[in-house]
Structure formats: structure tokens, C-alpha cells
A = this chain, B = another copy of it.
């Protein structure tokens, strides 16, 4: 072995990777945590019951492998959406599903990359596409795959550039709807236009769709080139158990099953997810509360403060802070972010691009938490800004 073996053995693109940066998960108490779009309310009480049942007196069932295909959970998901079991694949979080989709559709490109070509931007033969800004995991997954990306930038309107997507060279296009970090949702009318004009597979990442007016599931019956991806992390208040799922034609589900780890979802998460999906009243009540708070906050930011704020259909708000002198921009947003941090209010700031740098993304918390946020922003404007 040489003295630096890994740098010679590991694939070159892996040595260049930077890991995905998740939002901070502070371990000490006392934070108003509005930075990772978690649900401020607990999950259905049926979840704790189901888990206690699975654990039993002594956890004996845990000695056995889980159901490898999560069949009872697939059945529950299918029933919920009026689909069949063969339309459903369960992931260890929806991130697992997104990763599997990259592995199915996005070829590693090392061998064929033209010398001197810029990494990851709109090369001929690109195989994965997405809008910028959207979920920042997509580039991480494609870089891990050493794949190529065809990235289309929004303009400040954040409306879908339909013609540009139709012309994309991507084999699979990730579309977050409602989008992150803006909260802007895309209509099924627009999605239909993409589905009929774009030649590749459209992956609609619907992590936040339960908070929106519309979703793409009704389109599945007519478009075999559509995959809808969902998670239990947000509207089911179960970010801690890591369960997400794909809805698609059986042929695509079959491909996901071939590249999926055969025991990707553990016994406890399967049991918890089935219980959560079964409690429609609890789900409806969480969604109603989050939407009501969100709409109040949208009005507070847009109308009362006069801050430019996208019309969110998600469980967060993307707003452009304006200081006492009426200024906006990266420095102003950073100042608000830092001030909130000093008050133990945690939100998210994406400083690296003009479309996001002047904004803060604020998860919808309880009404009390949003009260603390607003008071802290008042204090920032008065003193900190």
C-alpha cells in the first residue's frame, strides 16, 4: 500500500464530493426550531400504540427481518390513494426513493466526460434535470452517481418555464411541487403540459403536497412517464421514522425494487407508517392547523410587513426581510438570520445564489412559535437591523 491509499483507490469523483448539508439539528433544548420543515404537532396517537404493539413485552419481534417489500405498508398506501400495491414502492425516507431514481436513470459519466467541460451543467447527454432553486439533495445524489445534470433556472417569478423543460435533454426531471424553498406549487394543468411535451420521465417530488390545493396523483392513470414521490416526514409528523414512497406504473416500481436494498425499511417504521396513514382525522387536523397558521403568516409578512413573500402552498414560507431602512439583500437576510439565531430561533438561509440569498425560509411552527418569531423579527428591525 502507498502512504495515501484511499486517494488512489477511491473513485476520483467521490474524493471531490461534498456531503449534503442538512439543516442544523440542535441537540440542546430551548430552540424555536423552524429550519427543517418538521411538523410542530405530534403524530397520530395510533403511531405510539402501533409501536408499543410491535415492540411487545420484550421486543422479541425485532429479532426477525422486516417484511422485505413492506407489503402491508404498500397496501395501505395504495388504498389511501386509490391505486394498486404494484403502483407503490416504499423508501427509507423519500430521499431513498430519489437516490434509487438517480441510479436507474442517470448514467455515471466519468469515462465519457469531455476534457475541460464544466462539471454538472447542461452537457450533451445529460441524464438528470431539475429546476433551480429546488430541493438541494438532487445535485448531491447526481454527484454521488458521477452523473450529469441539466439544470434550468427559475426567474424571480418562480413560474415553470414549460418550453425549456420540454426541450430538456434530461432522461429524468425532478420537479419539487410545492417547490422548496419557495413554497410555490405548480398546477396540474402545467404538469400535464410538461408530461405531454417532455420526452423523459417526470418525477414530481410532493413532499409538501398535502399542504397544497392540488397534487399530481390523479395524473398517474394517464401518464406512464410520471412518478410521484411522497414522504411521511412532514404532514404525518414522522420525520424521525424515515418513510417515503413512490407512486408510479408497475414497470417503474419493478425497477425501483431491483435497485432497492431488500430490507430498506425496518419493522418499527413500517408499523408506525401503517398506523399514521390509517388515521385520516389526525392527518386532516394537522394539515388544517398548519395551513391556517401558514396563511396567517403569509398575510403578516406580505400585507402587514410588506415583505416580498412567495404564495406558499407548503408548510414553510420564503420571505425577503426588509430592514428599518427599507433595504433587502443578502446582508439584510443574513443579519435577520443571525439575530434570530441569537434569540434561539432557527430558520434557514441559502446565501449562495441571487434567487435565494435575500430570503429566509421559515418552517410553519405552532402559533406560539410563530409569535416568538414575529416578535424577534420586530426586535431585529428596531435594534439589530
Chain A residues within 8 Å of B, Cβ to Cβ: 1, 5-6, 9-11, 14-15, 17-20, 22, 25, 27, 33, 36, 38-43, 45, 47-48, 51-52, 55-68, 92-93, 95-96, 99, 103-112, 144, 146, 171-172, 199-201, 224-225, 233, 237-242, 249, 251-252, 255, 257-269, 272
Contacts and interface: CB of A to CB of B under 8 A. Distances in A.
Given A63-B43, A237-B62, A10 B255 contact: yes
B62 A43 contact: yes
11 contacts: A10-B105, A14-B255, A45-B59, A62-B238, A65-B233, A65-B239, A92-B264, A108-B111, A242-B263, A242-B265, A268-B268
B261 A241 contact: no
Contact of A144 (B9, B52, B259): B259
A96 B261 contact: yes
B17 A258 contact: yes
State the 8 A-B residue pairs at the shortest beta-carbon distance, nearest first.
Answer: A111-B111, A108-B108, A240-B267, A62-B240, A42-B60, A63-B237, A48-B59, A242-B266
B58 A45 contact: yes
Contacts of A255: 6, 10, 14-15
Contact of A268 (B61, B96, B111, B240): B240
Nearest to A1: B225
A159 B36 CA distance: 52
Contact of A258 (B14, B61, B107, B111): B14
B92 A261 contact: yes
Q: Pick from A36, A45, A241, A252 the residue with the most CB of B within 10 Å.
A: A241
Q: Pick from A257, A260, A267 the residue with the most CB of B within 10 Å.
A: A267
Contacts of A64: 25, 33, 38, 239-240
A110 B127 CA distance: 15
A18 to B, nearest CB: 7
Contact of A241 (B33, B239, B268): B268
B48 A56 contact: yes
Contact of A62 (B33, B146, B272): B272
A320 B259 CA distance: 33
A266 B104 CA distance: 25
B36 A59 contact: no
A263 B22 contact: yes
B43 A59 contact: yes
Nearest to A267: B240
A91 to B, nearest CB: 10
A348 to B, nearest CB: 13
A96 B265 CA distance: 11
Given A22-B263, A57-B48, A63-B238, A104 B10 contact: yes
B9 A171 contact: yes
A263 B95 contact: yes
